[in-house]
Amino acid sequence: MDKEIMGIVIEDPRVLVANAYTKNSAIAYTKEKVGDDTLNFILPSSPAIFLNLALQAREQVVEVCKDELFMKVSDYKWQKNSRVLIDFFEIMMTQIIFSYSAIEAFANTSIPEDFIYHPKKKDNRFTESYKKEQTERYISLNEKLKDVLPNIFKVDSPTKLKEWNGYDTLQKLRDRIIHLKSSDTTPSTEVTKTIWGDLIRHQRTDFPSQAHALIGHFIEKEKEHRWFRMFPY
Give pLDDT, residue 23. 44
d(CA 24, CA 18): 8
Q: Please state, as a whole number, how many other Cβ atoms lie within 10 Å of the Cβ of residue 189.
A: 5
11 & 26 share domain: yes
Identify which of 183, 184, 206, 216 has the alpha carbon closest to the alpha carbon of residue 47.
216
Let me know whether 173 and 110 are in one domain. Answer: yes
Helices (H), the chain: 46-64, 69-72, 82-109, 132-138, 141-143, 149-153, 162-178, 195-201, 207-219, 226-229
Q: Identify whether the C-beta of residue 93 lies closer than 8 Å to the C-beta of residue 177.
A: yes
Give the pLDDT confidence score for residue 19 in this predicted structure. 56
Query: β-strands 3-5, 116-117: how paired?
Result: unpaired
Report pTM.
0.86
The per-residue pLDDT for 85 is 86
Are residue 33 and residue 135 in the same domain, yes or no? Answer: no
93 and 199 in a single domain? The answer is yes
Domain that holds residue 17: 1-44
Q: Are residues 19 and 57 located together in one domain of the fold?
A: no
- Same domain for 14 and 59, yes or no, is no
82 and 167 belong to one structural domain: yes
161 and 54 co-located in one domain = yes
Mapped onto helix, strand or coil, the DSSP state of residue 3 is: strand
Q: State which amino acid sits at residue 195.
A: I
Residues 130 and 196 sit within 8 Å (Cβ to Cβ): no
Can you give the pLDDT at residue 68?
Answer: 63
What pLDDT was estimated at residue 135?
Answer: 97
Q: Classify residue 129 by its DSSP letter.
A: -
- 211 Cβ neighbours under 8 A, 6+ residues apart: 51, 54, 99, 100, 102, 103, 167, 170
Bridge partners of residue 9, in order along the sequence: 4
pLDDT of res. 18? 67
d(CA 232, CA 229): 9
Nearby residues of 204 by Cβ (< 8 Å), 6 or more positions away: 65
Claim to verify: residue 197 and residue 102 sit in the same structural domain? yes
Q: Are residues 187 and 160 in the same domain?
A: yes
Mean pLDDT by 10 residues, the chain (233 residues): 48 76 62 92 94 98 79 56 86 99 98 91 73 96 97 96 97 97 87 92 96 96 84 91
Q: φ and ψ at 2, to 5 degrees?
A: -65, 150
CA separation for the pair 14, 3 (Å, rounded): 12
Same domain? 4 vs 98: no
Q: Number of structural domains, the chain? A: 2
Query: Under a CB-based contact definition with an 8 Å cutoff, are residues 227 and 109 in contact?
Result: no
* Same domain as 96, residue 196: yes
CA distance 167 to 97: 12
